[in-house]
Amino acid sequence: MIACSKRACAVWAFFSCLLTSHLSQSAPAISAAADINGDGIIQLDDSGPAPSDISTPATPFVFWLNDDQDDLNLYESWPHDNPDASNEKIGSLRDLEDLARLHIRVSGASQGDDLWLKLSWAVNSAAAPAIRVWQAQDPNGSRAYLLDEKAGIEQLSHAHAHSALGVVRQQQALFMQLHAFDLQGSETLLPLLFEAIEAGSGRLRVELIERQQVLAQTYVDMELRPVKTFYDRVAVPWPDEITFPYKYKGQPPQAKLTWEPESFGYSFQKPWYEDDNIVVWVHGWIPNDDENYRRTLVFSFETMFKRLWHQGYRGRVIHFHWPTRKVQGAFGLLTSEYLALKSAEPLYRFAQTLPKNKRLHITCHSLGGVILAEALRLGLDFDNAIFQVSAVPAESFDSSATLLVPELVNTPTPRDNDRWGWADYIGSSNTRVYNFFNPHDITWVGWNLAQKEAKPYWKYNRTYKYFPDEANGEHFRLKYWWFFSRPVKDRHEAMAYALNSKTQALGAEARVHGLVHQNFDLAKEPFEFGNDHVAAWRWNPQLVMPYFNLMLDVFNIPYNGLSVE
């Protein structure tokens, strides 16, 4: 070993450090990631405070195709004649929830005219994926465009929003000149947004190129597929040979209802990241024909699923489809209530098939509350249940006299449970119940009117009558023509067509306790849903994300923050 003086050693150490620093700065590096773990933060390496978002073929970023048509204000078109993925313009504030973020960080590279980024696919599936890419308006690449209306409008107004940077397909790479993005500093972040336009899985190759030489490269593994593969579906069909009970002069036949898988050509595919939570979703009063059901499934449920997903939910979601009857106006309400009561047993039986080692949650909307209430009465045992503005009598959960509505009490049908009334109908339940109510919801005007005027049901030569002195099973009768009648022996028939509620609907009532663990007022901040019955999915995502955080909070599931900084 050659000895050196202290001065010489110091000089050598200085120049060695300088050389090492120069070499490290002159070696460009590139990293890229999407939010594969759903925590709202894109962490490009293992050195940050959040878990890394480095993907692998076994743990890809999974996202849905942008195949709906979000081109209307607070709504979307049906059918999808011009799906969003078919054009290069971001269609609306609503369309932003069908976009995902991609961050690319370049280190140690100059900003010369010859420096390019290249995106291309290394495909590992029979189907080749494709994405369309835009520059994000926010230089930090935050989720603000999804959480804040002003930020969303700014993204839509951004110079690149009406013209995408380009498309990446199997045989079509995207080249982007780095200096065109006006990035600052030796370590620069390029925030991008993209939509999935063709299904498939593969490695998105990100290369830093100068004069046709690859200086650095990295990969982001992705799996892109239709949204209907992200959630499970079951349905309860009503037998064609059985009509509604008021049409039978004798005792109506009892339908033997069962649940069955519902595919629409797409099977549920369990993603690699699925956790131990399961949420069952029971829809409300919707049109019963196939075309309208498919439209409603896309517009309402799939929108709700996407918003939960964006807020970090990574469990399974199951849509429960029950038969309804909805025609013009409010016609079909009572029959749908009858069908809801009958559909509760298949829901209960389906719930028995779910894994017992999972955390089970269930939620319903509007008239779906009748199914869930009946299922709880049958013994449905979940961790939590959320009733969303539910059109089911509040007295089913709490028979307190303070809830009584005078004009509904002064009607000829009984209230007591032992006379088939709605009071304390559920009894007891191990499931923790939460009530999301909105007293300003316009739905309650019609619901209260139906309780007062439409029950007991009458139509032409058919009328339900209550006879207080008769025993159960004889105390309600269906009269037809002038001289004929039959007893109503099915409690569900009596409840749906003859027994009115003596209280407001659960979804209109702030004071209900009993089986209800907690009430949440959707008319107040931060929700302020006004009189809108379906604001949670009709409104643009930037206005309603606090609602989905509330759902996850009630289910005791971690969720992403709402900060736009």
Per-residue model confidence (pLDDT) at position 330: 54
DSSP SS3 for 48: coil
Cis preceding linkage at 79, omega within 30:
yes
Handedness of CA 496, 501, 504, 509 (dihedral sign): negative
Per-residue model confidence (pLDDT) at position 160: 76
CB of 479 closer than 8 Å to CB of 459: no
pLDDT lower than 50: segments of the chain: 1-4, 6-24
Encoded tokens for 346: 């298949």
Domains in the chain (CATH in brackets) are: 27-225 (no CATH), 268-450+499-554 (3.40.50.1820), 456-492 (no CATH)
**Which residue in this structure is represented by tokens 């991008």?**
192
What is the C-alpha separation between 110 and 262, in angstroms, rounded?
Answer: 55
Per-residue model confidence (pLDDT) at position 186: 56
Per-residue model confidence (pLDDT) at position 495: 98
Give, rounded to a whole angstrom, the gap between the first and last alpha carbons of the chain: 56
Within 13 A of 378's CA, how many CA atoms are on the CB side? 19
**Entry field: residues in the chain:** 565
Per-residue model confidence (pLDDT) at position 184: 61
Per-residue model confidence (pLDDT) at position 454: 94
How would DSSP label each residue in 394-417?
Answer: GGGT---GGGB-HHHHSSSS---G
Q: Between the CA atoms of 541, 543, 549 and 551, what dihedral angle is there, to the nearest 10 degrees?
A: -90
